[in-house]
Structure 1
Amino acid sequence: MLVSDLDGTLAESKSDLTKEMSGAIAELLKFKKFAVIGGGSYAQFQKQFVAHLDCPQELLSNLYLFPTCATAFYVFEGGKWKEVYVEELSAEEKQRIVEAFHVALEKSGVEMPGSTYGEQIEDRRTQITFSALGQQAPLELKSKWDPDKAKRNLIKRYMDEIIPEFEVNIGGTNSIDVTKKGIDKAYGIRKIMSRFSYAAYELLFVGDALFVGGNDYPVTKTGVDCVKVEGPKDTMRLFSKIASASRQ
């Protein structure tokens, strides 16, 4: 079974799935189960990924969606997407996280961008996400703000001190994701292994944020083989090799 990150792996940050990637995934779905675990909300998954995935409906039964870093899980049954679980944050937890962001940003001394595009702190039901340039910022600008992740690592350090009862991970190009303690991409991997009775060696995870502090990093602790990619083009090359091997 293949498990993949979304932003920076299958598509550029908050960008639509390309026709080429859609074709590659559709081909893989003929041979393998395929799960997507990303930091975006379920609505973002539908808009960015599902809406641009061109494949026969019968193959969608092999596709599994884990939005907001696996805090939610959806399967395709009876011609529609169905919710398996949602680890929703309470109103009090959300408030605690938002307040922590304000304190961490001030303590870190990280200079914020002069202009923002949309909300900087977004409530994704099961996850609170901070995006320095705002949720709708152009990819070109997002990529330049914190390319070495030094700014976000500093903010994360303060967040870890302020709210140790939550998971805090770096995601995307200018984001930090916060979820309930123990609910991260490793949690999603364990859910997959439990649901399908898979051993770790039967899964392969593909992601661009496998570095310490990245939101893909927790997967490295599950025993699952992980492949770090530099972007969608790199992922396409990997998928082509896997598809070729599967046809033989």
Structure 2
Amino acid sequence: MWRDHDLSALVKGTKVIAFDLDNTLARSKKPMHHDMASRFSTLTRLIDVALITGGRFELAKSQVLDVLEPDADRTRIHVMPTSGTRYFRWRQGRWRCLYSNDLDTADRKSAIASIERHAREQGIWLEHTWGPRIEDRGSQITFSALGQEAPVDAKERWDPDNSKKNRLAKAVGVDLPNLVVRSGGSTSIDVSARGVDKAYAVRRLCCIVGCSVDQVVFIGDRMDPDGNDYPAAIIGTKPILVSGPGDTIQVCNRLIAALSVS
């Protein structure tokens, strides 16, 4: 946990601070609060900052990028949605996609069919949802049990121990041996190409920035073995576990203080 770290020592030699999004910077599908946006904006003036999320770019934009303060240095932000299969930078006054690696059509269709079949068999294909259950993100297929637009409170109540998501992910994974299926957000599972996870995103980020993995601080809330932050936490980054945006604000306060005197 973040309280166990000497963040002043940890930040020495760091080249990039990377964040998970949901339940790290903001609650699911919700914009960052002003206090979090202020800290994130301040960090961009001190160091390169990366946003690594399983979600699509449109959510990264509405939850983080659209609420930054005017003096944030957008040129130092690396946006890596869908676990790094897409990469956006601020160029000529707007966010531009510099690469995109999508699944082929057959794999996407197989993933969608498998998810629906197993969700029905396990009794978690609900009759009434808030928006679509399955989203084709091109490079990733995402299943949200309560729908993409479900209220945060309902999402957090649905599977507090992650057992439903983990059971579904395991069953779908058997059908898709050439793909990777993992537990995602509060009610979701994600299907992507094998070898594509947040560790993949961190490695690509290091190639872009020109640094080593151990020069990346990675902050996230799901670093348990079934969590989608786990791959980034075990590859040699400096991982910081938080339990929500409140923790992240306190971590940012300490990082800002350390970077301001380094």
Q: How does 1:198-209 map to 2 (within 5 A)?
A: 198-209=211-222
Q: 1:102 aligns with which of 107, 116, 121?
A: 116
Q: 1:217 aligns with which of 202, 224, 230?
A: 230
CA distance in 2: counterparts of 1:63 and 1:74, whole angstroms = 9
1:209-235 deviation digits (Å, cap 9, x = unpaired): 111121111112321111111000010
CA distance in 2: counterparts of 1:158 and 1:22, whole angstroms = 38
Contact 2:206–2:213 (8 Å) recurs in 1: yes
Q: State the TM-score, normalizing by the size of structure 1.
A: 0.95
Q: Equivalent residue for 2:209? A: 196
Q: 2:193 aligns with which of 167, 180, 184?
A: 180
Q: Equivalent residue for 2:22? A: 7
Structure 2 gap ranges (5+): 1-15
Q: Does 1:21 align with 2:36?
A: yes
Quote how far apart the aligned CAs of 1:156 are: 1.0
Q: Equivalent residue for 2:96? A: 82
CA distance in 2: counterparts of 1:28 and 1:55, whole angstroms = 13
Mark the CA change 1:138 to 1:187 in structure 2 (over 3 Å): closer, same or farther.
same
CA distance in 1: counterparts of 2:29 and 2:48, whole angstroms = 24
Quote how far apart the aligned CAs of 1:113 are: 4.0
CA distance in 1: counterparts of 2:161 and 2:49, whole angstroms = 30
CA distance in 2: counterparts of 1:116 and 1:82, whole angstroms = 33
Q: Equivalent residue for 1:93? A: 107
Contact 1:110–1:151 (8 Å) recurs in 2: no
Quote how far apart the aligned CAs of 1:105 are: 2.0
> Which amino acid in 2 is paired with 1:199?
S
Mark the CA change 1:111 to 1:128 in structure 2 (over 3 Å): closer, same or farther.
closer
> Which amino acid in 1 is paired with 2:206?
M
1:113-156 deviation digits (Å, cap 9, x = unpaired): 45311000111121110000000000010110001000111111
Q: Does 1:136 align with 2:149?
A: yes
CA distance in 2: counterparts of 1:114 and 1:102, whole angstroms = 12
Name segments (4+ residues, structure 1) moved above 6 Å: none
Q: Does 1:163 align with 2:179?
A: no
Larger RCO (alpha carbons 8 Å, 6+ apart): 2
CA distance in 2: counterparts of 1:237 and 1:20, whole angstroms = 11
Percent of counterpart pairs with the same letter?
Answer: 31
CA distance in 2: counterparts of 1:16 and 1:196, whole angstroms = 27
Contact 2:219–2:241 (8 Å) recurs in 1: yes
Quote how far apart the aligned CAs of 1:112 are: 4.0
Quote how far apart the aligned CAs of 1:175 are: 0.6
Q: Does 1:39 align with 2:62?
A: no
Contact 2:124–2:145 (8 Å) recurs in 1: no
Q: 2:45 aligns with which of 12, 30, 36?
A: 30
Quote how far apart the aligned CAs of 1:2 are: 0.2
